[in-house]
Structure 1
Amino acid sequence: MMYSAGEVLDVIRKQIYLDERTQAMLRKAAVVRGVSESEIIRESLREYLRKSAVDAGDNPLLELIGLADGREDASEHHDVYLYGKDKD
């Protein structure tokens, strides 16, 4: 359990690797704001995920699902469906 900005959080521990430049920027942001580096990471990640969230209804590729519904045996009996008889 953890406290963040006055609220109690159940948190899951994650391990990440940062390059030196990103670490320095993170440290500076935490000092300036007076919060932990973890809090900066959580806030940043939440904001990123909120902005980049894609509604499945907005994905045109999902409209292709079911487009090719049809006979299940079409690959085996395609000649019958195309020509009306088996090709010899």
Structure 2
Amino acid sequence: MPDDVMELLGGLQSADGIFCVNRNQRIIHWSPSAEQILGHPAHEVLGRFCYDVLGAGTRRTTASAAPTAPSSPMPAAVD
């Protein structure tokens, strides 16, 4: 992911837990609020598959969003 995108994500101030995954469903960003809400520090989850951290249901959700993700390295939104 480009440095400017990572800088933007790092600067987000939100009470919501925000995380981003790449096309392989590996976590590439984990916000401080995600740490607090979900109880996993970023250094423990970065690079891991999101479904290993958040449960099997996450695998289906992120997999269904992957085909709509842009070809650029920008993160895809998942509802």
Settle same-fold status: TM greater than 0.5: no
TM-score by length of 1: 0.27
Q: Per chain length, whose mean CA-contact separation is higher, i.e. which structure has more relative contact order (CA < 8 Å, sep 6+)?
A: 2
Task: Return the index of the structure with the highest Cα Rg.
Answer: 1
